[in-house]
Structure 1
Amino acid sequence: MPHQIHSLAITTHGPSLTEFTREADMWVAAQKITTGLLTLFCQHTSASLLIQENAAPEVQDDLIAAFDRFAPEGSHYCHDSEGPDDMPAHIKAALTQSHLSIPVVGGRLALGIWQGIYLFEHRRLRHQRTVILHLSGD
């Protein structure tokens, strides 16, 4: 069974959901694997991965606001070596996922019609994030 690996760099600009469905799907299609599994892995502890609705941008705004209410910035955390958004970012990442698995059917990602793949940035500053894509199949 063939395996392919790709590293995807994603630049973020503060708390946001950055969709990269198209990039992942195009890479999968170029590998000529018709049936398999794509695993995505975020190499960071203050950002995470989500499959979420990609039709209404308000969903993204509401998710960011909800996570900010759940893990607000403040001086009440012990870990703050990188600033007041440091520990809240780790909490938000712990509540989401560092990896995703998506079936590949007919050489394409088997996502639902309104589903998109997102990097969820939990820090305030601009970051360069890395997501590893691992595809296996026939």
Structure 2
Amino acid sequence: MSLRQHQATLDVQTRGTGFVDVTAQVDGVVRDSGIDSGLATLFLQHTSAGLTIQENADPDVLRDLTTHLERLAPRDTALYRHTMEGPDDMPAHIRSTLTGVSLTIPVSDGRLALGTWQAVYVCEHRASPHRRRVVVHLLGE
């Protein structure tokens, strides 16, 4: 067999600070690609949001993560030099550095090889809603 590639871009609407589960959308790209075994690379094209794999069973996990990211990078303009885009911008950049903007996930049997309680999330670090873009690139057979 020869290696194949497939690429798609997902538009994700956020509601402001919090997490948006994009697992089904990414799995749809994998399914549509026809790739059975390989790697999925996800890349978020933004500097004030992030990507993470996290538990999908108990919503308190996501609430606690939001609370603790707020503690790590509070929305206090007295703490930052970069404040021109509002009090949530620099904290969002810091949170984006903590969560990261890319993931690599194995593909097995034509699906993301996630664990039982794992889901893929876009992490919105700004207070207001945004439209975020996730590039999904697949390489496999």
TM-score (norm 2): 0.96
d(CA) in 1 for partners of 2:77, 2:90 = 10
Counterparts in 2 of 1:8-87, with a 5 A limit? 8-76=10-78, 77-87=80-90
Q: Which residue of 2 aligns with 1:136?
A: 139
Query: Alignment partner of 1:29: what SS?
Result: helix
1:20 CA displacement? 0.6
Instruction: Kindly state the Cα deviation for residue 75 of structure 1 after the two structures are TM-superposed.
Output: 2.0
Indicate the SS of the match to 2:130: strand
Which of the numbers 4, 7, 11 marks the counterpart of 1:5?
7
CA-atom RMSD, angstroms? 0.6
Q: Residue 100 of structure 1 corresponds to which residue in structure 2?
A: 103
CA distance in 1 between partners of 2:67 and 2:74 (Å): 10
In structure 1, C-alpha distance between the alignment counterparts of 2:99 and 2:29, rounded to whole Å:
24
Aligned to 2:126: 123
Structure 1 stretch displaced more, 74-83 or 110-119: 74-83
**Percent of aligned positions that are identical:** 48
Matched, 1:91 2:97: no
Give the secondary-structure state (helix, strand or coil) at the position aligned to 2:77: coil
Give the distance between the partners of 2:17 and 2:132, measured in 1 at CA: 13
Distance across 2 between alignment mates of 1:117 and 1:2: 23
The one-character-per-residue Cα deviations of 1:30-77 (angstroms, maximum 9, x if unpaired) are 211111000000000000000000011111100000000110011221
- Structure 1 gaps of 5+ residues are none
Equivalents in 2 of 1:136, 1:23: separation in Å? 17
**Gaps (5+ residues) in structure 2?**
none
Runs of 4+ more than 2 Å apart: none
